[in-house]
Amino acid sequence: MSQHTFILNGQRVTVEAPDDLRLLWVLRDLLGVTGPKYGCGLDVCKACTCHINGKAFNPCSVPVSQIKPTDEITTIEGLADRQTGALHPMQQAWLDHDVAQCGYCQPGQIMAAIAKVRQARTEGREISDADLDELRNICRCGTYFRIREAVRSAAAKM
Partner 1 sequence: MRRRRFLGYLLAAPTLAVAAEIGGAAVDPDTAEGAIPSPPEPADTYDLSDALTDAAMPTANLITVQVNPDGTASFALPRAEVGQGITTAIGMLIAEELDLPLSKVTVTLADARPELLFNQLTGGSNTIHAMYQPVRTAAAIARARLLATAAAQWGVPVSSLSVKNGVIRSGNGKTASYGSLARAAASDTVRPVTVTPKPESAFTLVGTPQNRVDAHDIVTGKKKFTLDLAVPNAKPTMVCRPPTINGTVRAVRNLAQVRAMPGITDVAVVSTGVAVRGETFGQCIDAVRALQVTWGPGSVDGESDDTVLDKLKAATPPPAVPPVLTKSIDAEFVFAFASNSALETNCAIADVRKDRAEIWSGLKSPITTQEQIAKMLGLPVSAVTVHVTQGGGSFGRKLFGDAALEAAEISHKIGKPVKLMWHRTDDFRHGRAHPMSYSRIRVNYSGANVVSYEQRHASSATDFSHGLGEILTATSAKLPVGELGFSETVFTLSQSVPYNFGATTQTLTEVPLKFHTGSMRNVYSPNVVCARELVVDQLAAKMSQDPVAFRRSFFKDDRFRAVLDKLAQVGQWGRSMPKGTAQGVGFHHEYKSCSAVLVEIDCRPETVNREVRDGVTGPRVTKAVMVVDVGRPINPRGLQAQMMGCISDGIGLALTESLHIADGLPLEGSWDNFFYTRQWNTPTEMQIVVMPTTTGDPGGAGELGVASSLAAVACAYARATGTMPTRFPINHGTLGFDPLPRVPPIPQSPTDGLKYAF
- Which spans of this chain sit near ligand FES (rule: CB under 6 A)? 38-48, 58, 60, 100-106, 139-141, 143
CB 12 to partner 1: min, Å:
20
The answer to whether 15 touches 30, Cβ cutoff 8 Å, is yes
Angstrom distance (rounded) from CA 117 to CA 96: 18
Q: Which is nearer to ligand FES, 48 or 79 (CB)?
A: 48
Determine, following the binding rule CB under 8 A, whether residue 132 of this chain makes contact with partner 1.
yes
Selection from partner 1, ligand FES, none that 114 binds (CB < 5 to 8 A by kind) is: none
Of residues 59-118, those binding partner 1 (CB under 8 A): 59-63, 66, 75-77, 79-80, 87, 91, 94-95, 98, 100-107, 110, 115-116
